[in-house]
Amino acid sequence: MLLPSSCSTFRWSIAENLVETCIKASHRPLFGDWIGSLHSYAAVEHEPPKLRLTIDIRPLPDDLITHARCDFGYDAAGEITSAKLIGQSFVGRLVREQGRWLGQFTIGGEISGSMENVLRIGLSLLCEARGDLLLHASAVEREGAVYVFSGPSGAGKTTIATELTAGATPVALERVVLRIRDRDHIEVHSTPFSDPTRVLLGPRVGRMARLCFIEQADRHACDPLAPFAAVQRLFAQTLVCSRRQGQLTRTLDAVSRVAETGRCMRLLFCRDPGFWNMIV
């Protein structure tokens, strides 16, 4: 896909908060499949976005940026007010103004991967500020309920969401946002981070029925997780950028609230859909 030379804006929504990305390019670069995934989550909204990223795509010398880091600025209360992002192929800054994150980035090299890094960090900061969780997980919708499958890379999240659905509908393949309404109501929201060869049509949102921490095995088995064990696994799979007490306390509180719902379990599975009978 070729990116138009004029500014192109893509949006996706998470409940009432909108994320907007404005992409500027002066030389019509070959952008890759990732932007197609972002296209599939385009949403038309009239409210102002809470996170806005303006990304200027232009060639950069290969040796201009030689390392990657994220430096945060804080106010007197310890809240993050800015984030300076420097990586192998991008450099930019996020600034928080009146409850919104504004950002400008210059991209070069591996463009699509850099954009995804920037957006993940920005979305993570937005989730931390709101008490939501950006979780490394896939999700599928079955009979009006959403089942979330979390685990490290290679655990089988995408396999479950694309090959072992047993008629369920994929919601997300790589990252989901968990919004905690109350103990019995946790919303699962899709994000545009997924395998670009399997673009999902979204955005999608649904009510969480189960959160399964998955492990591949030669048999199916399912056991409920005690809250402490669930907290450990949840925190390990949550994208957290901040290291300050205020943000970490908010994230830990969200993790604890999800763990205490009784909906978290350990799922052993082999490559057939027989495990569904254990979790539905």
pLDDT confidence of residue 49? 67
pLDDT confidence of residue 213? 97
pLDDT (tens, 9 = 90+) of the chain, 280 residues, equals 233 334 556 566 665 566 676 666 544 444 444 444 444 444 445 566 677 767 665 554 444 444 456 778 888 877 778 877 776 666 777 788 777 777 777 765 555 555 666 677 778 887 887 889 999 999 999 988 999 999 988 899 989 988 898 888 888 888 889 999 887 899 998 876 654 445 455 567 889 999 999 999 999 999 999 999 999 999 999 988 776 777 788 889 999 999 999 999 999 999 889 999 999 8
Positive or negative torsion for Cα 254, 255, 258, 262: negative
Q: What does the alpha-carbon distance between residue 184 and residue 87 come to, in Å, rounded to a whole number?
A: 40
Report pTM: 0.78
* Residues 6+ away with beta carbon under 8 Å from 111: 29, 31, 32, 57, 89
List, edge to edge, every strand of the sheet that includes 8-14.
Answer: 8-14, 17-25, 51-57, 100-107, 90-97, 80-86, 69-74
What is the DSSP code string of 178-205?
EEEEETTEEEEEE-S-S-TTSPPP---E
Q: What does the alpha-carbon distance between residue 83 and residue 226 come to, in Å, rounded to a whole number?
A: 36
Q: What does the alpha-carbon distance between residue 259 and residue 230 come to, in Å, rounded to a whole number?
A: 5
| Ramachandran bin of 52, using left for φ above 0, alpha for ψ from -120 to 50, beta for the remaining angles | beta
Phi, psi of 128 (to 5 degrees): -60, -40
pLDDT confidence of residue 87? 66
Burial (CB < 10 A; 0-12, 13-18, 19+), residue 277, is exposed
Which residue ranges form the domains of the chain, and what is each CATH number?
A: 8-130 (no CATH), 133-279 (3.90.228.20)
Q: What does the alpha-carbon distance between residue 109 and residue 130 come to, in Å, rounded to a whole number?
A: 33
Q: What does the alpha-carbon distance between residue 145 and residue 256 come to, in Å, rounded to a whole number?
A: 22
Q: What does the alpha-carbon distance between residue 240 and residue 261 come to, in Å, rounded to a whole number?
A: 22
pLDDT confidence of residue 123? 80
Q: Is 15 helix (H, G, I), strand (E, B) or coil?
A: coil
Which residues sit opposite 73 in a β-bridge?
A: 82
pLDDT confidence of residue 209? 96
In 3-state terms the chain splits into helix, strand, coil percentages (rounded to 5) of 25, 40, 35
Residue in 146, 202, 208, 203 with CA at minimum distance from that of residue 180:
208
The three-point CA angle 278-229-223 to 5° equals 15
Count, residues in the chain: 280
Q: Position 202: which residue type? A: G
Number of neighbours of residue 6 by Cβ within 10 angstroms:
9
